Amino acid sequence: MPRRHRVFVFSPALAAGCMLAAVACDPGDGDEGVESQESGYTTIAEGSPEALGVLRVANEASPQELRGPAGIASHIADNIVAVRLGDDGASGTPDDVVFTTLAELDRVPFVTASTIDALLLYAKSRGLVVRPGTSGGAPGTWTVVPPQAGWPRGSRWTDAAVWVDGSGVLRVASSAARYEPKADLVFPTPLPASWSGALYQPVLGTGPTGALALAYNYRSSGYPSGGIASAAAWDRTTRTWSAVTTDGLELRRTAAVVWAGDRWVAILGSPAGNGTIRAQTWKPGEAAWTTAAKLTHPAVGRINGVYWTGSEVLVWGAGAPLHFDPVASTWRVGPAPARAFVPLGYGAAWDGARLVSVMDRAAYDPVTGTWAPISAIGAPPDCAGSVVAKVGGKIVVWGGSARNVAFGSSGGTGYREVLCSYPGAVYDLTKDTWTAMAPAPYAIRTGSLFATDGTMLWVGGGRDGVTSASSTSLGVTSGSDMIYVP
């Protein structure tokens, strides 16, 4: 993956035409393929595979490549490259520019619809226009995404990621960036100044206009009694972050956020899963968050998944599903599954009507309040911390660790965590069947950092497979991110 720098901000000096010597303002005599500046470009939709292919060529092609096989007139190719290099005219420096939209590219002097059409034709010839669901490789395979400078990276406790329609993968830690897997492009996305720098386990949720990021900086004043909350909203249209009020927001170590029809709901658990859970709500435009009633119940544990059913927020923790009504601000507890596999953390997936708990080998209907078994033939073994994600009509289960109690020479109370040896499995929601996955390029102990657009699964972060008497001393993986297409 090529190195990326700051987002392109169009300079008025470029619009003036001749104020920057590096930018060609006059095509000159005898220059073939001269084009006049036009308004608009083609009917290519922003964020589409075609647009991403055009941007990849505009951002990566050399001047010789643009003038030659891409068929771009010399003065236009020079202008595109001059904007990319920034004011210092040098590559690989902090003022380098990345075109993030076709509109930005269209504002370069002498770039017209014909220019973008030529870039699109060349992008197609190089295989850079990738239709949804194919960029991760052939179905049933993994693709490695190499590490890159500027791409936020940390342990599973210090960053978060989510897939936003039209925006690719958003990854947030103390900084943020957006990755477009279909074009293998990364763009920095500056967070608002109010975003705290030292954060603990940010959480992300998607809504109709973008996403919401929440984080808690307990290191500033101690945990759990004090800390600074941060909140920011991502606009999928402008592709920018803006500050969100934190008045009344009381984040804790285990949290999740979900869009509930007309408001955001933050579900707040406890560090040790001690039986208490709370909810806070915020409608865009409100001055503060509202704290809802809390629930104390033996079924309450760590928060492993939060889903909007259309009328309630369904929380999957440990042992039983929890229902929260954001309008009435009330809780109720659903029945536990028959098998009730309850480690510290294991995931489930919402298929649009049911909560599918793969480790319990059952699916929960929140309307009827009943569980129904799913096939156990070929199902993955009991593992905590696995990635569990709905990708299209399938559920992908991968990663995780098994726990052996009484670790230590004296039969102490610690535990040893070892990687689950299975390669992963895919559950077909229609056929009620399991299929083994191809082995991934590398394994991680906890794969909670993942995102899906419905056609492919992106996995990053997490902890590696080093065994230890303490989970907190396990190393943090520095390996590449990966994409899987089921």
pLDDT tens readout for residues 83-117: 999 989 887 777 888 898 898 999 999 999 999 99
Tokens of 393: 């009509």
Which are the contacts of 359, defined by CB distance < 8 A and separation ≥ 6? 339, 341, 346, 380, 382, 383
% pLDDT > 90, the chain: 30
Q: Residue 180: how many CA atoms within 13 Å on its side-chain side? A: 31
Indicate the pLDDT class of residue 293, thresholds 50, 70 and 90.
confident
Q: What DSSP character marks residue 337?
A: P
Q: Which of 343, 403, 402, 338 is nearest to 376 (CA)?
A: 338
Task: Name the one residue in this structure whose structure tokens are 């101690």.
Answer: 222
Q: What DSSP character marks residue 218?
A: G
Per-residue confidence (pLDDT) for residue 406, from 0 to 100: 38
Task: Name the one residue in this structure whose structure tokens are 């991110």.
Answer: 481
Task: Name the one residue in this structure whose structure tokens are 């990854």.
Answer: 171
How many Å apart are CA 250 and CA 177, to the nearest integer? 26
First to last CA, the chain: 23
Indicate the pLDDT class of residue 6, thresholds 50, 70 and 90.
very low
How many Å apart are CA 208 and CA 331, to the nearest integer? 25
How many Å apart are CA 11 and CA 171, to the nearest integer? 28
C-beta separation of 2 from 60 below 8 A: yes
C-beta separation of 395 from 349 below 8 A: yes
Helix axes 113-125, 49-60, angle to 10 degrees: 90
Predicted confidence (pLDDT) at residue 410 exceeds the cutoff of 60:
no
406-429 burial: b if 16+ Cβ within 10 Å, else e: ebeeeeeeeebbebbebebbbbeb
Which are the contacts of 343, defined by CB distance < 8 A and separation ≥ 6? 318, 382, 384, 403
Per-residue confidence (pLDDT) for residue 268, from 0 to 100: 84
DSSP strands (E only) in 290-411 = 290-291, 295-296, 305-308, 313-316, 321-325, 330-333, 349-350, 355-357, 362-365, 370-373, 387-391, 394-398, 401-407
Greater pLDDT, 293 or 470 = 293
Per-residue confidence (pLDDT) for residue 223, from 0 to 100: 46
Task: Name the one residue in this structure whose structure tokens are 């610690």.
Answer: 414
What is the distance of C-alpha 53 from the center of its chain?
21
